[in-house]
């Protein structure tokens, strides 16, 4: 009887060791569309602000909307149709995005967002008669992004513009703009500035409200 108990205890020990030494697989990465939910009828409303070098924000008294109008096939792939207006314009643009592995891409194959790649340049180009070099990378914001719709942890699709020949009017050779995505919400803030602006003014679109279906 004693031998049976010893054999049973040894077997239990070996099973436990095998269980403890089993490799633990990493969880599958989240779909990038979790950071820009795309379903017909989803919409986002943004208010524009003018921000000076001291961080003072002036409401520009106009807003933009972006919404998912539906889906369409392009070269056999399903894309979601994003429609909206920009910087108070009456013109409505349309872009087409789809979830492709760990990226959101548009109909031209350009990467618009990643929730896994924070090391590579995702897009680059030379602009303005070989005057300006532009590139985009993902950045993990080190603090929450505060907008009228709330406070959100964000990943930033950041664009850098570099003047290749002369310093900018407000100093330095580069300017950055942001497009910040929050999980389960979408784009909560995006910015732009003019290269020729000596005051280093930044224009910000801040999320005011949104609806997800």
Average pLDDT over residues 184-199: 91
**Domains in the chain, number:** 1
State the pLDDT confidence band at 9, using cuts at 50, 70 and 90: very low
Identify the domain containing residue 53 by its residue range: 30-66+116-211
Residue 6 pLDDT exceeds 60: no
Does any domain span residue 46? yes
Does any domain span residue 16? no
Does any domain span residue 37? yes
Does any domain span residue 166? yes
Does any domain span residue 98? no
Element (H, E) at 68: strand 57-74
Tell me the CA end-to-end span of the chain in Å, nearest whole number.
Answer: 65
Does any domain span residue 155? yes
Average pLDDT over residues 80-96: 93
Residue 14 pLDDT exceeds 60: no
Does any domain span residue 51? yes
Structure confidence at residue 19 (pLDDT): 46
Structure confidence at residue 93 (pLDDT): 94
Does any domain span residue 49? yes
Q: What angle do CA 140, 83, 101 make, to 5 degrees?
A: 45
pTM above 0.75, yes or no: yes
Structure confidence at residue 29 (pLDDT): 65
């Amino acid at each position: 009887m004693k031998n049976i108990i010893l054999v049973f205890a040894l077997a239990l020990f070996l099973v436990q060791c095998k269980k403890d030494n089993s490799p633990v697989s990493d969880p599958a990465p989240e779909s990038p569309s979790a950071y820009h939910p795309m379903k017909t009828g989803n919409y986002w409303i943004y208010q524009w602000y003018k921000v000076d070098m001291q961080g003072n924000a002036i409401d520009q008294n106009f807003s933009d909307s972006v919404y998912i109008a539906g889906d369409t096939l392009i070269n056999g792939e399903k894309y979601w149709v994003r429609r909206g207006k920009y910087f108070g314009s009456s013109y409505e643009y349309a872009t087409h995005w789809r979830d492709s592995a760990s990226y959101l891409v548009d109909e031209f194959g350009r990467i618009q967002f990643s929730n896994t790649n924070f090391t590579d340049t995702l897009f680059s180009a030379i602009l303005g008669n070989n005057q300006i070099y532009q590139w985009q990378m993902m950045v993990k914001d080190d603090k929450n992004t505060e907008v009228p719709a709330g406070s959100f942890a964000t990943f930033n699709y950041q664009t850098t513009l570099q003047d290749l020949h002369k310093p900018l009017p407000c100093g330095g050779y580069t300017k950055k703009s942001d497009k910040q995505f929050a999980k389960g919400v979408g784009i909560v803030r995006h910015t732009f500035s003019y290269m020729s602006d000596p005051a280093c003014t930044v224009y910000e679109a801040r999320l005011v409200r949104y609806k997800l279906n």
